[in-house]
Structure 1
Amino acid sequence: MLRLTSGLEFDHALDGELDGSVERMVEQPIWLRFVTSERARRHRPDLLLVRAAGWEFTEVKFEEEAAEPENEARWPLIGAALNSLGYSYRVVTERHIRHPVRHATVWRIFEDRHTPTPAPDVLWPLLRGLGGGEGRTLAQMRLILPTLTREQAHALVRQGVLAVDLNQPVGDGMRFSRGREEPSLTQYSED
C-alpha cells in the first residue's frame, strides 16, 4: 500500500508496479538536506524505486511546475547529493508518465490484473521457452500454450511472471519476456 498525493503520483506508482525491473517502491522515503548558494534546504523525494541495477529516487511534477526557475535550480543540487551517496535521482513529469502509448499500455495491463491465469505446471513450458532474448509475441507464446489469452498474459505481467517494455503499444506485436517472479499456486484459478 502506498500513500500518494496526486493522480500523477498514482500513475507513476502504477507504472513502477508494472515495470519488470522495479522490485520494490517506497513513498516519500527520506528527508535529504542539500546546500544552495543561499542556505541549507530539505527535500523529500516522492518515490524510491528499488531495482537490481540500483536505487532511483524520483520526484513527480507536472512539467510546468518542474520547469519553474527555483525548481530548475534545485534539481541538479538534489541529484548531486543523492549521486554522492550512490543513488540515482530523476524528475519525472506527465510527458513521460502519461505518454499516450505508455499510459495506454500500463492502464490496459492494469485493467486485466485480476484475470485468472494458468496453473504453474501449465506455465512452466512457456517460461522455459521464453528464456532470455528479445521476447515473444502472444501468437508465438500460443505455440507453446495454445489457450493463453492476452488478458492472462497481462495478469502475468502484473504478477511479475512475465515482463514487457511498457513503451510498446498493446497489440499483436507486443513482446513478452520472462519476469523476475515464479508462478505461485495462489495466483491462478482452475478452469
Structure 2
Amino acid sequence: MAAGLSATSITVSLRGLNGSLVENREWTASSIDLLAAAAPWRTFRWYRGQRHYSGTYWSATVRDHVIYESRLELARLLFADFDPSVRSIVAQPFLLKAEVDGAVRKHIPDYLLVTDEGPLVVDVKPLHRLSKPEVAFTFGWTREAVEIRGWKYEVWSEPPSVELENVRFLSGYRRDWLFDRGLVDGLRGAELDGVSLRRAAVSLPGHPEEQVRSAIYHLLWTGELTVDLDRPLSPVHVLRKTA
C-alpha cells in the first residue's frame, strides 16, 4: 500500500472527444460527467512481435466502439457490456498523477465504468503479475486515489473460463436491431420462468425455432432472462425472468 497520499496532490488529465486536452485538474473536483465523456488517453499500438492483441469492440452499452489492449482487457469489456447495471464504458479514461512517498507517480487505469451503484475504476492484470512489487505499489496508490472520492476500484484478472465462454457466446446476440421486435415482445410476454431453453425455443408457434432461440439469447444478453452461466450453455438450461 502506498503511503502519504494526499487528496490535494492528485490531479487528472484527459482528452476530450473533440481532441481537446484537459491537463492537471484537481482530481476530486473533476466531475463524473467530464471524465465519462473522455476519449482514450492513449490509443493502442501495433508493432511486429507484439505480445498483446489490441483491437476495438462494438459495445451495446455505449452504442459505439471501445478499444482494448489485450485479450484479457477484451474479456473485462465483455463482462462490462453484459452487466445491465453498467451505463457507460470509457477505455483508458484519464491519466492520474499523485505525489506518493515524495515522488510524482503516474497511472492510466484501463476502464472507467459508470454504474447504477456509482463510478467504478478498473485495472486489468493477469493474476501471475499481481504479486510484482511495482504492480502492487501502483495499484495500491491508485486504489487510495479512487476511494478518496468515494468511488470503487477493482483489479480484475482471469475470470472462470466457462463463464467467459458463455458471455462471449451471448455477446454475438447483443445487436438489438437484428431481432424481430414482435418476436422479442412475444417472448417477453410468455411464461418462461422455470422453462428449459429447449422448451422455450418452441413456445411461439408460427416462428421458426432457430429464430426464437436467437431471440432468447438476446434476452439473456440484455438481462431480461437469466440462466446459470457456471456450466456450458445448453438446451437443458432453465430460464429465469428477472424482476
TM-score w.r.t. the length of structure 1 is: 0.71
Q: In structure 1, how many angstroms separate the alpha carbons of the residues matched to 2:99 and 2:227?
A: 38
Instruction: Note the 1:4-83 alignment, pairs <5 A.
Output: 4-83=68-147
1:19–1:166 Cα contact (<8 Å) kept:
no
User: In the alignment, which residue of structure 2 is the partner of 1:155?
Assistant: 218
Root mean square deviation of aligned Cα: 3.2
2:201–2:216 Cα contact (<8 Å) kept:
no
2:184–2:215 Cα contact (<8 Å) kept:
no
User: In the alignment, which residue of structure 2 is the partner of 1:106?
Assistant: 167
Residues 27, 68 of structure 1: alpha-carbon distance in 2 compared, 3 angstrom cutoff = same
User: In the alignment, which residue of structure 2 is the partner of 1:90?
Assistant: 154
Higher helix proportion, which one? Answer: 1
Residues 35, 163 of structure 1: alpha-carbon distance in 2 compared, 3 angstrom cutoff = farther
Q: In structure 2, how many angstroms separate the alpha carbons of the residues matched to 1:24 and 1:135?
A: 32
Please state if 1:168 is matched with 2:227: no
CA-CA distance at 1:36 after TM superposition: 2.5
Higher strand proportion, which one? Answer: 2
CA-CA distance at 1:11 after TM superposition: 1.7
Residues 136, 34 of structure 1: alpha-carbon distance in 2 compared, 3 angstrom cutoff = farther
How many aligned positions are there?
Answer: 172
1:29–1:47 Cα contact (<8 Å) kept:
yes
Q: In structure 1, how many angstroms separate the alpha carbons of the residues matched to 2:181 and 2:137?
A: 51
Residues 145, 20 of structure 1: alpha-carbon distance in 2 compared, 3 angstrom cutoff = farther
Q: In structure 2, how many angstroms separate the alpha carbons of the residues matched to 1:135 and 1:76?
A: 44
SS in 2 for 1:2: strand
SS in 2 for 1:89: strand
TM-score w.r.t. the length of structure 2 is: 0.58
Match of 2:188 among 120, 127, 148: 127
1:127–1:178 Cα contact (<8 Å) kept:
no
AA matched with 1:10: L
1:64-90 deviations in Å (ceiling 9; x for gaps): 222211211232321121111121111
1:148-177 deviations in Å (ceiling 9; x for gaps): 74332222344x263536743313235443
- Give the share of equivalent positions with the same residue, in percent: 22
AA matched with 1:155: H
CA-CA distance at 1:122 after TM superposition: 4.2
Q: In structure 1, how many angstroms separate the alpha carbons of the residues matched to 2:182 and 2:167?
A: 28
Q: In structure 2, how many angstroms separate the alpha carbons of the residues matched to 1:37 and 1:57?
A: 23
Q: In structure 2, how many angstroms separate the alpha carbons of the residues matched to 1:91 and 1:162?
A: 28
1:115-156 deviations in Å (ceiling 9; x for gaps): 953x434444543567xxx88653675686465743322223
Is there any run of 5+ residues in structure 1 with no aligned partner, and where? Answer: 180-191
AA matched with 1:61: K
